[in-house]
Every structure is written in C-alpha cells, then in structure tokens.
Structure 1
Amino acid sequence: MLQQHLSKLCLVGVLLIPTLLPAQDATNTRSRSMDEMWGERVVKLRAENANRGQLFDEGNYAMFIHWGLYSQLANKVDGKTYYGIGEWIMNKNMAGIPKDRYKELAGTFNPIDFDADEIAGIAKDAGMKYIVITAKHHDGFAMYHSKACDFNIVDATPWNKDPMKELARACRDAGLGFGFYYSHNQDWTFPGGGGGPGKDENGNRATFDDYFKKKCLPQVREITTEYGPIEIVWFDTPGKMPKEYVEQLVEVVHENQPHAMVSGRAGHGLGDYQTLGDMEVPRHNIDGMWESVDTTNDSWAYAWYDEYWKSPREILKRLLACVGRGGTYMLNVGPRGDGTIPERAVKTLRMSGEWIRRYPQVVYAADASPWQHALPWGDVTGRDNTLYLCVFDWPASGKLHLPNLKTEIKSASLLHGPKSDAIESSKQGDHAVFTLPPRAPEKLVSVIEVKLAGAPVVDPTWAIDPSVETMLLAEFADVSNAKKEEKRWMEKFGEWKGVVHAFDWDTDGKASWTLDVLQPGDYNVELTYSGEGRLVWEVSVEGGETIRNQQNSSHNYQLFPIGWINFPSAGRYTIDVRCLEGELETASLKSIHFAPAY
C-alpha cells in the first residue's frame, strides 16, 4: 500500500515493513512485557529514520493538538460562555474580541503545568505514531519563539519558554514523529493577514503581501529549520490565497524538510495528501493518501463546559473506519490553559490504546477493507492474504456472516491479544459463516483473524445480515427522480455534522439498493429521515412485497418504523424506497434499516 502511494509522490527508497510475530512464537511471548511484544510486532520509527510519508501511511493514527491563548479563556469571556470551537473565540462569529484586548491575554498566559514528556507519553500510550500541534492558529499568536513577530509565547508571556522545543525533543525520545499546524492564510492580529487589520501600527494600508513576506513565510522557515525532523506541516484554511504564495510555502517545506508531508489544506492541490472535512469519517473507501481529522469531544481547543468525550469504543470505531477505508486518523486533544490535557480525554485515549497494543496488526500498515464499506457487525482491515474482522456487535446467534468472499479460507482464529483459538468456518456459496462462542472475548472490539489461500476477492454488494441489524445509507443508493448529495451543518459553532441524503422527491422518485439476502424470512424495516409534518413512505421489493406507513417527521434524522417485509428465499434483491405523501420538498432520507423479525 505504501509503495503505491509513494510512487505518486515520485519517491524511492527501501521501505521498513512492520514485522508480525510468527504464530509459533505466541507461547514464548506471553511472559514478555506488552511493550516488548508491541515493539516486535510493529517497527518503531522515529521521523528521521522513516521514509517520507511512512509514519503517515503505515502508522495510520496520530495526535492533533490545539493549544494557544484561546485555551486559557476556555470559551468564557466577561462571564459569558460561548458554545463552539474554542480556537475561534476571538472571531466576530463568537465573542468578537478586539485585537488589542486579545493580545493583552498573552500577559497572563502562564502554562506552568505543561509537561512535554507527559503529552508524548499519552500519545504513545494511545497507540499514536506522531503529534501535530498548533504553531500558529488564526489568532496569529505563535506558540513557539518566533523572531518574525514578538506576539509569541516566549516574548509576550511571563512563562518565557518555548514548548515546541520541549515537545519536539520529547517526541524524538519517545520514538514519535512531530509536526506543526500553521494557519497560513488567516491571521486576525497581523496587518494584512486574512481577517486581520487593514492598516499597520503607523496607519499605513497593509496588504496580504505585507503579511506574507514579513510574517507567514519567515515563520514557516522557522518551524522547518529550528525543531529537528518534521513529519508534517499542516496548513489550514487557504481561502482565496493566491497560488504563487502557496507554492512558495510548499517549496520551503520540501527544501528544509525533505521527508515532511504537506497537508491537503495548503490549497490549489499542492498538498501531498488529501485532508477530509473536520470530523468527517468516510463511509466508503477512498483512493490515494488521505486523513480524517477528528476531536476527542466537540471543541478542538479546550472549552470549560465540553465534557462530551468519545468513549474508547467510539474512538476505535472511528479509527478502524478510517483504516478500513484506506486512510489515516488524526485525533485531537485540547490542553487547558495551564498545559494539561483533561483527565477524561487521557483516560479514554489510554483505554483505546490498550486495545491497540493487543492488536497492532489490525491498525498499523493495514490494508483497506475489500468490501469498501463497513459491515453490519463491524469493520475489516487486512494485510496481504489475511483479514482482520473487527466485531463491534457480537451476534447473539453465535454465527457471524461474511458475505461475498470468493477466496478460499485456509483458517480462522479468534484472537485474544497474542493468543488465538481456532474457530469453525464454512462457506454457503460465496458467503462465509463463522461459529463463535456465546460471549465476546473483548469488551471493546473482538478480532477474528481469517487466513486466505490468496489475495481477498470480494463482491462489495451490501448484504442483509440475519443476526444483527443492517443499516444501508442513502449514500449507497441509486436515486431517480430525486436528488442525492452531501449536506453539512453546524450543531454548535464549528461542530460539523454531515449526511449524504436523498431529497427533493418527485411523486415517482425513489432510492434503490441492490443487496443480498443471506437468510430468507421476515425483517423489520425502519427509515431514518427528517422533514416536516406527517410523511408517507413506501418500501418495496422489486417483484415482491410492498409495505407503507405514515409517520410524523422531525428536523434531526430520527428512526421511524415502517413495518415487516418478507424475503422468500436467499439471493439478490432490489429494494426501493419512495416518499409518497406529505410535504415532499422537506423529506430527507438518510438510511434504511433491516433487522430479523424473529
């Protein structure tokens, strides 16, 4: 996988491939410490020892850190709490803090509890392979000792230290890669910067060129020359920044840090990889090198009220979804103003990291799922001729169904960290069935290792699972006489949500899915949709049964029952969904759900 991606970047070199423990060594390793075992299973790379992009592509998991002056405000200004992403607190869309008043905050910024070794240790315990931290966000404050502007953490604060020096060193000591976030277009406090003042201190008109030459370009030179080997320079929000400026920045990064990657948000297609939207975890496989950026709660920077933490199970679900779709997952933490990471974030990261320690082969240097999407009970990653079935929803029936696998199965084992137990598998046509014990061996995610006779050959057609609920997203439907597209919105300021929905229905509009039914019988059908008033929906099997129901709608995609539908035999079917009555112009379909009726 890495060789294919790096060939697109015109790179050459010998790749360091993670080495898995041979099965016969499992007994001998049980007495070893987990750190020793983990070290054998996955090669630990420092940034200076890795080929360009190797930690990104093989590590698959990283820590993002948003930390700055805004962190000490914690979303509260003059006693009022502003709900949303904390790093935008200065902006007019949130508290609207004037530039001069905001700059005064630096005089009280004193993060005496910042501990670079502790932060690197948290990332390592979480199973992350590198750290990317905000060198300068949109507020213009440099979190390192910049010579290009005195609005920085050394010259403008009583703390008078450069935390980036310490963190870069701590990452090297821990065997982690290190990188910088840099807001290259927006700068709300420097004259000429995007969203910044239009005049300098002398009242003269300031242009973007002034900002770029006096601050942006010099600072990018600083962060790429003064902190050792860098894994990534993560530019953000290019806006309407002219291409020639971005080209200069990318040239500086590649000249000073030949092994460093440039994020896709540099703009104008000049990044080395694609970055998805904030908090976006894809539902289908994506080609090429890409990353999803997410956060442990709702805000990127620390917000005092935000205690909506992702559980260890949710972190693993989103991580494995990204790896299973062929990408990398970078998960953010927002330290407090004093430099400490909230305890609940640390706990959930370490708990999910303990699982990764037991199953590193599932995450690191893993291939995307040949099914190209999640399966009803979980997700799949793999490597070469081996599949790793990551089971989130353990089937009560004791039977786990793997549809449309055409390659011969050589063996199947239920993994318990370094130990494994052989389990029975059989094929019903192209569909594999595994016989499982009544209880899941893992509290978070259980793993079944499936060894194949060759590379996996799969028909990615969706299948209705006879044991657990199956959700088919509108994203995977063929839509006629209606529209299908992505819709994104903010719940709170900067907290992005999104859905690919079917909408704008004509009276004969429909969304259709081709699917396989593995076991005949009655299935309960529900729809997730939004709209206004009472809507009438119809679900039909082409050449078979039709059901219809009226339900009141909601604005926020709730699940509504439609009824039972029968599939008389196993096989391939086409399912159609129509919105027939009510305020059709408001009807927005997200998904259809099937669950065994008995």
Structure 2
Amino acid sequence: MKASNMKFSVVIGLILGIAINVIPSIAHAQESMDKLWGDRVVKLRAENAERGQLFDEGNYAMFVHWGLYSLLGNEVDGKTYYGIGEWIMNPRMAGIPVEKYKQLAGQFNPTNFDAKAIARIAKDAGMKYIVITAKHHDGFAMYHSKACDFNIVDATPWKKDPMKELATACREAGLGFGFYYSHNQDWTFPGGNGGPNTDDQGNPATFDDYFEKKCVPQVNEITTEYGPIELVWFDTPGNMPKEYVQQLVDLVHKNQPRALVSGRAGHGLGDYQTLGDMEIPHENIEGMWESVDTTNDSWAYAWYDEYWKSPKEILERLIACVGRGGTYMLNIGPKGDGSVPQRAVQTLTDAGEWIHRYPQVIYNTDASPWHHTLPWGDVTRKDNTLFLCVFDWPSSGKLYLPNLNTKIQSAKLLIGQDAIPVTTNVERNWVVIDLPPQAPEKLASVIQVTLGSEPIVDPVWALDPNMETEVLAEFAEVEQVKKTRKRWMEKFGEWKAVVHAHGFEKGGNASLEIDVHEPGEYNVSLTYAGTGRLVWKVEIEGGEKIQNQQNSSHNYQTFPIGWVNFPKAGRYTVSAKCIDGDIPSASLKAIHFEPME
C-alpha cells in the first residue's frame, strides 16, 4: 500500500471511529429536540392526522383565492377598480352583466398553473394545509362540476380540473387539503343570492332552485370526488335559513367525517369560530378559532396590488394568532394564467425559513399567559415552556418579563438548533433577562424559558423600561363612555377594525391599570380619530394631570400629549378623556407611554 493511501485510510478510520461514538449521541439529541418541538406535528402527514389536528396544532395554513375573476385582475374595459378582486363582477365594483361575465370563461387558459409548485410554496412556508376556492360568489366552479356547466372544464379552453391536481399534490407533500365554497351567494345561477331571479326560459327562480339544483349537489361533489379533505370553508351565509345550513353541515360530516366546517357556515353551526377578514385579535380567545388574512390587500389577484406583507409582518401576525390561542390562514391570489406572484412566494418563503428553524414556537403550542402582546414581541407556550419571540431587540441588553409568578428553571437564547444560556433576575415579580447586545436573528429572536410549574401571570399592562408601550383602549374600563367595535373599508373589501372608546360625556373617561417597574418621566401620546382639533386630558389617579389640543384624523394617527411622572414603582390608574372640541367625534384607540432617558 502506498503511503498516501495508508494516510487516507487512517484518516477515514479515525472519522468512522468518531462517527460511531458520536452518532448515538446526535441521534439522542435529535430525538430529544424532536420531542421538544412537537415532532408529531412538525413531521405529521395529513393522512395520519386526527380530525382537526392540523387545524388545532398546525396553526398555520394557506388560503387560495383563484377564479375567473383572476383573469381580469381588477381591470375591466381599460379601467382599474380598486378593491378585492373576487368581487369585480358585483355592482359595487365593475357591475359586469351575467352573460358578459360568463363569456370570460372562453378566454380562461391558465397554462402556468402548477399544483406541485403551490404545494411546495405552502410547505416551504411552514403551512400544514391548503384551502382553495371551489366556487366563489361569481358562481364559476373551479373544478369539473356536473351540477352546472359553468365550470373550468366545460367552459374554458384549458379543459382541466386543477382541484384534482392540487388535491394530489397536497397528498404527495403530506399537506391537508380543503375547499372554500360560497353557499349562499351565487351571482350567475338563477335563484342564488345576488343572482338572476329568472331562469334561461324566463321562469321565476327562487333560492330553493339554486340550493337544490346547484348548491347541495356541488357540496356533495367536492366532499366525495377529491379524496380526504381537512375542511370545507363556507362563506357569507347572509339570511340563509338555519335548516339549509344544517343540511350542508350534515352533508359534509357524512361524506367527510374527519373534516371541519368553518365558522362562516352560519347560525353557529360551524366546528370552530372564524374571525372577521384580516382581523388579528389583541386578547386571548377561548376555543378553536382562526384568523384569515392576505399576503397583500386583495384576496384575488389585482394587477396593481404590490403592497406585500414583509416576512417580519407575516411572523408578527402569525405568532400573534398563535399567542392568542388560534390558527392563522394566509391567502395568496394566483394570476389568471395560474402563476403565483413572485413577491408573495418570496415573502412566504423567507418567513417559512424562520419557522423551519423554530418550529417549536408555532406548532402544537398554546396561548400566551400574558393574554396580549408585549412591547418587544409575543409569547407562545408548550406546557411549562415559554417561547419569547423578540421582534424589537432591547438596546440595553435587558429584556423585561412582567409579573411572572412562577419560578424559572432555565432560560436559553436559541440560535437555530443551538442554545446559549442567559441569566435571569427577579425584581418585584418582574423577570429581567440579560441578553447580548446584538439580536441573533434578523426577523425575530427566540428565548426559551423553562418553568418549574404551570405559568402564573398577572396580565396587567406593564410599562417596559426600554421601549414604548402601547395600551389599547380595548382593555380600558369605561365610565360614561362607550366601548364598541368599529369596522370600515379603506378600499372596497379592505377591512380595518378597532375597538374604540367613544361617546365621551361630561366626567366620562377610559381608565387603565398600569404596572410601572422603573419610576420616572414618560412621554404620553394618544392614537385617536375625530373631527377638527380636540382637547384630551390624561391623568394619573392621585398624581399628575396633562392636557393638550391636537388635530384629528379619520384613520387613527398618533399625537403627543405631554410628559407625566410616575414617582415610584407600583400600580397606577391612568385615565384619558376628551374635554373640548367636537367631543362626539372623538374616538380613542390607544395610549402610548415612552420612557424618557
């Protein structure tokens, strides 16, 4: 044997010897890590999931709005309509006549549709199932329906059933699959809500005609011809009678015993609660629920809409939903040719890379014991382990965890699969964690805190000594003031919402209990809407009072009021009231406290 070959053999032998000794420990470490991360969800294939498991423990899903409307992309006869694209036919958008709209099917040839690519995007994003529009309000079936020839196979030159392809792609990828179905509205079928009131022969058509001839047969089709599905996502029940909804729910459960029915079915007959469009809750919600959101502003493709959520924003909204105890379903809108906008793919993939590094934060976790976000980020929980997701890294090197009344066993700063122990100190029920000066992650850094027992937390709002604390009026106690939920559209279908304090009467106020860890000066600002210049007063019970006049806005801008001093650590009641100007127009969204150095 040559010397060089002998040297090579010795090196290989050493490597193999090391590997033999190291592999068992690596395998044991990986096994422990998988157990920690909730391996049954991370690696779970849809066909092995229990009923509702992907929803309840997977916590993250893909919504897909794709249909005939995608071909238009919100442009009709050279005019752009701003708003959600799937409503383009409706009189509140372009008002396209039924026959003219149906003619679009002859131009629909989505040759760039790639079911495997969409499944791969969802999987790379960290999502656990896909729900796609089988039929939206326009009545066009995106699958081969025998109940109506206005469908993608019979009415288009493409002649393919994309739902068959996507169902197969999801099964191959181990993802769950489900359908959106608009069960009440149908703008092109006689008798459907919003549709023609006569049939092709001019005979009167009723909702029963639509329900019996199209709705029930199509729900039967999508629940029998595409293999196992995770859920059926009904939408906009309107004034649909309860017995009709019950019939559809029973049909889904009969054909797909493992499937869930969305909360939008109506009459409280869904298997879980669905929040309003684009609604991210601010306080923990009990039970099974979901939030549905979009990667930009429109659900369906709109040619002009390039306002994409950044990877950080996606993670903030996802973790906020998981931290409040729910599931997040995030939508993409493929183009008319079937392709997915590249910027949507990129932002989902970038967020997904983070999720694949920290799956323990998202999957099979429970709500935060603080019940709301914290100034630096949010918290998810698995048994006695807390995952602190830090979006705003403290420049002081100290992270404050208020009013945790359970003993900490250990705390680690996670860097992928590595972990660095960090020091914790307790100061008046506040845990102070010492951190390095630089955040290890660009999007969000994770600190794993292991407790000795179940977390016991006082969720009172606490002022962070490092950074601004925003306290929503939603959490305020009101006296001679109303506190209600308000929703409005910026563009058509682009919903905004706020729980606001309004209707201020003489002597009325919105008050909050605040925990102050570090006494001193804090700059106070208010986020509010109203008409003209308003005078607001902010006061600490038994302490300072400040008031100031600022202009108003219709969409909740933030205006400074002044400085206040908290003379010592402890609990304070802080109140806000509108005292002059167009008081009936005053609408308070939040109070902000920024520590002044």
- TM bucket by the smaller chain? over 0.9
2:38/2:360 contact within 8 Å kept:
no
Aligned-partner SS, 1:119: helix
The amino acid across from 2:289 in the alignment is W
Task: For residue 44 of structure 1, report the CA deviation from its aligned partner.
Answer: 2.5
Query: What is the letter of the counterpart of residue 78 of structure 1?
Result: D
Counterpart secondary structure, 2:506 = coil
Q: Is the CA contact 1:296–1:309 (under 8 Å) kept in the aligned structure 2?
A: yes
Task: Identify the residue that residue 10 of structure 1 maps to in structure 2.
Answer: none
How far residue 430 of structure 1 moved from its aligned partner, in angstroms, is: 1.4
- Say if 1:114 and 1:340, in contact at 8 Å, map to a contact too: yes
What pairs with 1:232-381 in structure 2 (closer than 5 Å)? 232-381=231-380
Percent identity, aligned pairs only? Answer: 73
**C-alpha separation in 2, matches of 1:331 and 1:572:** 39
Partner of 1:211: 210
Cα distance change on mapping 1:164 and 1:62 into 2, 3 Å: same
* Distance in 1 separating the partners of 2:500 and 2:37: 42
Tell me what 1:540 maps to: 539
Letter in 2 for 1:243: K
Aligned partner of residue 225 in structure 1, secondary structure: coil
The alpha-carbon distance between structure 1 residues 484 and 64, as it changes in their structure 2 partners (threshold 3 A), is: same
Partner deviation per Cα, 1:291-348 (whole Å, 9 max, x = no partner): 0000000000000000000000000000000000000000000000011110000000
Deviation at 1:46, TM superposition (A): 3.1
The 3-state SS of whatever aligns with 1:220 is helix
Alpha carbons 1:285, 1:325 under 8 Å: kept: yes
Amino acid at match of 1:379: D
Corresponding position: 1:173 with 2:172: yes
1:561-582 deviation digits (Å, cap 9, x = unpaired): 1111111111011001111111
Stretches of structure 2 that go unaligned for 5 or more consecutive residues are 1-22
- Quote the residue 1:568 is aligned against: 567
Checking the alignment, whether the CA contact within 8 Å between 1:513 and 1:575 is kept in structure 2 is yes
> Cα–Cα, structure 1 residues 577 and 571, in superposed 2: closer, same or farther, change >3 Å?
same
**Correspondence for 2:15:** none
1:38–1:105 Cα change, 3 Å:
farther
Please give the secondary structure, in 2, of the residue aligned with 1:125. Answer: helix
Distance in 1, matches of 2:501 and 2:169, equals 49
| Counterpart residue number, 2:397 | 398
Q: Is the 8 A contact 1:41 1:360 kept in 2?
A: no
1:228 aligns with 2:227: yes
Return closer, same or farther for 1:173/1:575 CA change in 2, 3 Å cut-off. same
1:179-214 Cα distance to aligned partner (Å, 9 max, x none): 000000000000000100000011111111110110
What amino acid is the match of 2:59? N
Distance 1:111 1:397 in 2: 54
The 5 Å alignment of 1:494-533 reads 494-533=493-532
Shift of 1:554: 1.7
Contact preservation (8 Å) 2:85, 2:302? yes
Q: Secondary structure at the match of 2:454?
A: coil
Residue 47 of structure 1 deviates from its aligned partner by: 3.0
Residue aligning to 2:417 = 418
- Aligned partner of 1:431: which letter? W
Pick closer, same or farther for the CA change 1:388–1:39 going to 2, 3 Å. Answer: closer
1:454 aligned partner: 453
Q: Label 1:348 to 1:384 Cα distance change in 2 as closer, same or farther (>3 A).
A: same
Alpha-carbon distance in 1 for matches of 2:143, 2:418: 46
Cα distance in 2, alignment partners of residues 25 and 555 from structure 1: 63
Q: What is the rounded CA distance, in whole Å, between the counterparts of 2:268 and 2:301 in structure 1?
A: 31
SS of 2:203's equivalent in the other structure is coil
Structure number with larger C-alpha Rg: 2
Corresponding position of 2:77: 78
**Cα pair distance change 1:28/1:568, threshold 3 Å:** farther
Contact 2:488–2:496 (CA<8 Å) still a contact in 1?
yes
Residue 389 (structure 1) aligns with:
388
| Superposition deviation, residue 31 in structure 1 | 11
My pick for the range that moved more, 546-555 or 393-402, is 546-555
* SS of corresponding position for 2:572: strand
The structural deviation recorded for 1:50 is 1.1
Q: What does residue 20 of structure 2 align with?
A: none
SS in 1 for 2:538: strand
Maintained 8 Å contact 2:37/2:360: no
Cα deviations by residue, 1:421-477 (Å, 9 ceiling, x for unpaired)? 000001112110000110111100010000000010111111000001100000000
Match of 1:16 in 2: none
Per the normalisation by structure 2, the TM-score is: 0.94
Partner of 2:7 in structure 1?
none
The number of equivalent residue pairs is: 574
1:26 deviates by 9.3
Map of 1:115 onto structure 2: 114
Aligned to 2:492: 493
* Larger CA deviation: 86-95 vs 507-516: 507-516
Q: Structure 2: which amino acid aligns with 1:232?
A: L
* Equivalent residue, structure 2, for 1:199: 198
Report if aligned partners of 2:38, 2:363 keep a CA contact under 8 Å in 1.
Answer: no
Task: Please give the secondary structure, in 2, of the residue aligned with 1:406.
Answer: coil
**Any idea what the Cα deviations from partners look like across 1:131-152, whole Å, max 9, x if unmatched?**
0000000000000000000000
Change (3 A) 1:406 1:38: closer
- 1:524–1:596 Cα contact (<8 Å) kept: yes
* Deviation string, structure 1 residues 21-78 (Cα, Å, up to 9, x no partner): xxx999669999x999989584433333211100000000000000000001000000
Change (3 A) 1:203 1:41: closer
Cα gap change, 1:30 to 1:383, in 2 (>3 Å): closer
> How far apart, in 2, do the equivalents of 1:198 and 1:174 lie?
44
For residues 59-106 of structure 1, the C-alpha deviation after alignment (integer angstroms, 9 at most, x for no partner) is 000000000000010000000000000000000000000000000000
Matched position secondary structure for 2:491: coil
Name structure 1 gaps, 5 residues minimum. 1-23
Distance in 2 separating the partners of 1:373 and 1:353: 24
| Paired residue secondary structure (2:349) | helix
- What is the root-mean-square deviation in Å for CA atoms of aligned residues? 1.8
SS of aligned partner of 1:411: strand
Is contact 1:26-1:419 (8 Å) kept? no
1:461 is matched by which residue type in structure 2?
V
In structure 2, the CA distance between the partners of 1:453 and 1:528, relative to structure 1 (3 Å rule), is same
